[in-house]
Structure 1
Amino acid sequence: MTLHEVTRLTGVSAQQQYVSLYTDLLQTVRDLGLLRRRQGYYVTRMSIVLGALLAVVACMILLGNSWHQLWLAGALALVLVQVAFLSHDSAHRQIFRSNARNDLTARILAGCVLGMSVSWWRSKHNKHHAAPNQADRDPDVQLKVLAFTPDAVVERGPVGRWFAARQGWLFFPLLTLEGVGLHASSLTHLLRRGATRADRIDAAVVASRIGVYVGALYFLLPPGKATAFLGLQLAVFGVCLGAAFAPNHKGMPIVPPGMKLDFLRRQVLTSRNIRGGILTDFAMGGLNYQIEHHLFPSMPRPTLRRVRPLVREYCELHGIAYAEVGLFTSYKIVVDYLNNVGLRARDPFDCPLAAELRSTGGPSAGGRGDLA
C-alpha cells in the first residue's frame, strides 16, 4: 500500500504518519524511564578517568628523561580519548538535568583538559545531527581532504582524483593528523573575525592549556624526546578517536541536496551500529549504538544498550532498514566506499521510501537532531 492510499483510507496525512512514527517510539522510551539521567554512572566514570589522567602525569614526572616516556604518551592519548567521550556526552546534555551544569562540564573537559573548543564542536555537531549524511547540510561529508560523493571527485583536479581513488587506504594513516586538526580547527573558530566575548574567553583557555602542556613537555624532557612524545600522543589520540567515529555513517547512504525525510528514517537509514560487548562500548564511548544515539541524543550512554532491542524491533515492524555489523566489517565497508566514491554511478540514496518522498514532498526532519 502506498502512502497516498494510506492517507485516503485513514484520513491521516503522510507527514502526520511520519511524525507519529517517531513520537510514538519516543513516548514509549519515556514511559520506560530510559531517558532518565545516570549521574552516578557519570560521576564514577569521570572520577576514574581524571584519576587515570593524574596517574599518567605523575608517572611522567617520576620517570623523567627516558625513552620509556613514549609508553606514557600512548597511555595519555587513550585517557584523553575517554575525556573526549565524556565531553561529547556532556555537550549532548546526557549527564545532568541542568543544561548549565552540562555546558560547564563540557567546557571544562574540552577546553581545560583536551585543549579544544566545545562551542566550535557543538556548532558543527548540531548540523551533523540535524541532517546526517545530507550532501548540502552535513559538515562531516563536506570535508576538503576526503570526497564523499561522485560530484566532489569530479570537481577535483588530477591530483585530487588520484588521491580520491586511494583515499580509503589513506584514511587511517590520515587519522594520525586528526588530533592536530581538531586543535587547529578549534583555534581557527575561536579567533575568527566577529568572534564573541565568550569565544575570546574560550580561546584564552584553549591556548593556555595547549601552551602549558607543550611547555611542560619541553621542560621535563629534552627537545627530541619531547617532540616524539607530543607527536605520538597526538597520533594515537587522532587514530583512536577517528576510529570510533568513522564506522558510524561513512559508507551509509548519502542524502541528495534538498531531499526531505522524516526524522526517524533520516536518523536510522544514514547510521550504522557496531556489534560488540563491553570492550567495544569502552573503546567507542557508546557511539557503537549510533542509531539509538541519533534518535535520542540526550539519552545517557549506558542506556543506549538497553534501548537498542526496542529500536531494532520497532524498525523491523515498520520496514525500516536497521544496519548493524562487526567493527572490522565496518572498517572494510568504510575503506571500500571511500576508494570507490568516484566510480559508482548510482543513486546516492537508493531507497523506495526516498522515491516516494520525492514525489510527495514528504516531511522535513526539522530540528530534532540538535544537541539542545
Structure 2
Amino acid sequence: MGKGNQNTSSNEGNHSVKQHTWQEITQHDKRHDKWIVIDNEVYDITEWSKRHPGGSKVISHYSGQDATQAFHAFHSNIGLTKKYLKAIHKGSLQTSNIKTANIDVDFKNLRETVTKMGMFEPSYTFYTLNLLHVVVLDVLAYFVLCYFGTGWLPLITSLIFTVIVQVQLGWLAHDFGHTSVFGSKYKIDEFMERICMGFMKGASAKWWNHMHFQHHAKPNVLNKDPDTRLDALFVVGDVMPVQVAEKKKNSLPYNLQHHYFPFIFPPMVIPVFFLYTATRHMFTRREYLDLLFAVCYWIKFIYLFGSVLGFGTALVFHFVMKMFESSWFTWVSQSNHIPMKIEEDDAKPWLRLQLNATCNVQPSFFNDWFTGHLDFQIEHHLFPTMPRHNLSKIAPLVKSLCEKHNLSYQVKPLFQSFTDIIKSLKRSGGIWKKAYNRFHGVNNNNNNKSC
C-alpha cells in the first residue's frame, strides 16, 4: 500500500502510545525484522508471520508498508482478527505522518456501501446448485463407462464430464478458500475447500492458499506474486525480460515463447507443476490432513475407474483429463493477468494495485460458468471474500470509481482475452531479445545463432 495513504488513527492524540514515523517503519522490511501498519497502528509481525493462518509470505509481503486495505480485503471477521494483533502492537503511526488520500477514502466508502447492500452475503441456493451439478456430472462420468462400455464414444463422453467436474470443483474450492460462502467463523469453508481440493481433485488446500493468497496480496508484483515466477520458461511484462537478459547469458529463446507457450504451459501446469509443488508442500510443511484427502482421492479414482478401464488405461485417462483441465484453467486465469502490468513492488494503494494487474471479460451466462465468475476479475481482486454471484452487481460502482480516479477499467471479449496472452508474450519476448543483444554484445546478424 502507498506509504502515507492511511485512515484516521483511533489513537490520534494519545501520547501514552509510542509514535512511529514512516521513515522508521520502512526500515523494518527485512526477513528477520518485519513491521506493518494497519489502520494507523504499527505491528511487529516478525514472529507472528510464522503462525499466520493465511501463510507467512502473504503478510510478510507488506513488511515496511501500510497493509490496511489488504487486511480488510482478506478478513471477513475484523473484530476477531484484531484480537490477535494486540500482542504484537508496537505503537501508532505518528500523527504528522497520517495523510489520507482521496483514492483510499473513496475505496473505503465503496467497501462500506457494498457491505450495506449485503454484497458479502452468500446465496446458499447458488452454491448448492453449483455443487449439485458437479456431483451429478461426476457420477455420470463413471456410470457412462459402466453402462455403455469403454468404446470411444463413452470414453470421450466420460472424459468431457470429468474435465468439467474438475474445473468447476476448482472454482468452488476457490470460493471456499476465500471464505466466501460460510465465512471464517466456523471453519466450514476450510472443510469444504479440503473436500473439493483434496478428496475430489487430489490436491492440497493449504498449498493452494499459500500460493493464491500471495497472488491476491501483490498481483503481478515481481518476487512476491508466485504467478510471475515463470523465468524458467517464459518472461512476462516489461521489467522481467530485461532482468533475465542481464542475468542469463545462456538462455532460452524467449523471443519465440509466444509460439511454444500454448503447447507447454496450459496443458502441463496442473498434471506436472501443480502435482509436484502440491505434493512437495504437503510433505515439507507436514500437511498430513491434506495428504490424507489427496490419498483418498487417488484410492477412489483407481478403485472406480481402474475397475472399468484397467489400471494403466485409468492412469492415461487421468493424465489426459488433467491436461484438458489444466488448459481450461490456465487460459482463464492468465487471461486477466499476463497482458497487464507486471512490475516491482512500489507499494501502490489497493485500488491502483489491483487495477494495474487485472482486467475483466465481457460477462454472459456462459462466461460466468466457464470462468467461475472470474470474468469479473477486477471486482474479485478488490473484494476477494465477496461471493462470486454478487460481483456483477457491484461492477458499475467499481467502474464509476475507476473513472473518477482515471484508472483503466478494461473489459474484453473472452477470445480476445486469450489472444492478448499471446500478444503480450510476443511483446515481452521482443523486449528480452533486444536487451539480451545489448547486454551480451550479440551482433544483429547473429541473433538466431546466439538465441
TM-score normalised according to structure 1 size:
0.82
Q: Tell me which residue corresponds to 1:354.
A: none
Secondary structure of the residue that 1:146 maps to in structure 2? coil
Unaligned segments of structure 1, at least 5 residues: 5-10, 346-372
Q: Tell me which residue corresponds to 1:167.
A: 257
Note closer, same or farther for the CA distance 1:287–1:153 as it changes in structure 2 (3 Å cut).
Answer: farther
Note closer, same or farther for the CA distance 1:45–1:223 as it changes in structure 2 (3 Å cut).
Answer: closer
Render the CA deviation track for 1:62-108: whole Å, top value 9, x for unaligned: 23332331331122111210011001011111111354011111111
In the alignment, the residues of structure 2 paired with residue 22 and residue 12 of structure 1 have an alpha-carbon distance, to the nearest angstrom, of: 20
Matches within 5 A, 1:95-134: 95-99=181-185, 100-134=187-221
> Which of 244, 258, 267 pairs up with 2:354?
267
Letter paired with 1:313 = S
Matches within 5 A, 1:1-372: 15-68=100-153, 69-99=155-185, 100-143=187-230, 144-148=232-236, 149-150=240-241, 151-156=243-248, 158-160=250-252, 162=253, 164-174=254-264, 175-180=266-271, 181-192=273-284, 195-196=285-286, 199-214=287-302, 216-222=304-310, 225-256=313-344, 258-344=345-431
Q: Which has the larger radius of gyration?
A: 2
Letter paired with 1:169 = H
Shift of residue 57, structure 1, vs aligned partner:
1.7
Contact 2:141–2:157, Cα closer than 8 Å, also in 1: no
Mean alpha-carbon deviation: is it higher for 177-186 or for 84-93?
177-186
Query: Percent of aligned pairs with the same residue?
Result: 24
In the alignment, the residues of structure 2 paired with residue 278 and residue 212 of structure 1 have an alpha-carbon distance, to the nearest angstrom, of: 33
Secondary structure of the residue that 1:95 maps to in structure 2? coil
Secondary structure of the residue that 2:367 maps to in structure 1? helix
Shift of residue 187, structure 1, vs aligned partner:
0.8
Note closer, same or farther for the CA distance 1:37–1:218 as it changes in structure 2 (3 Å cut).
Answer: closer
Letter paired with 1:112 = F
Note closer, same or farther for the CA distance 1:53–1:260 as it changes in structure 2 (3 Å cut).
Answer: same
Contact 1:70–1:232, Cα closer than 8 Å, also in 2: no
Contact 1:154–1:342, Cα closer than 8 Å, also in 2: no
Mean alpha-carbon deviation: is it higher for 15-24 or for 180-189?
15-24
Mean alpha-carbon deviation: is it higher for 140-149 or for 130-139?
140-149
Contact 1:70–1:228, Cα closer than 8 Å, also in 2: no
Contact 2:355–2:408, Cα closer than 8 Å, also in 1: yes
Secondary structure of the residue that 2:324 maps to in structure 1? helix
How many residue pairs are counted as aligned between the two chains? 329
Shift of residue 308, structure 1, vs aligned partner:
0.8
Letter paired with 2:167 = V
Contact 1:49–1:83, Cα closer than 8 Å, also in 2: yes
Shift of residue 203, structure 1, vs aligned partner:
1.2
Secondary structure of the residue that 2:431 maps to in structure 1? coil
Shift of residue 154, structure 1, vs aligned partner:
4.3
Note closer, same or farther for the CA distance 1:133–1:189 as it changes in structure 2 (3 Å cut).
Answer: same
TM-score normalised according to structure 2 size:
0.68
State the superposition RMSD in angstroms.
2.2
Mean alpha-carbon deviation: is it higher for 25-34 or for 87-96?
25-34
Mean alpha-carbon deviation: is it higher for 57-66 or for 99-108?
57-66
Contact 2:140–2:158, Cα closer than 8 Å, also in 1: no
Contact 2:142–2:305, Cα closer than 8 Å, also in 1: no
Shift of residue 147, structure 1, vs aligned partner:
1.9
Render the CA deviation track for 1:275-294: whole Å, top value 9, x for unaligned: 13111111000011000000
Secondary structure of the residue that 1:340 maps to in structure 2? helix
Shift of residue 15, structure 1, vs aligned partner:
4.6
Unaligned segments of structure 2, at least 5 residues: 5-95, 433-451
Shift of residue 227, structure 1, vs aligned partner:
4.6
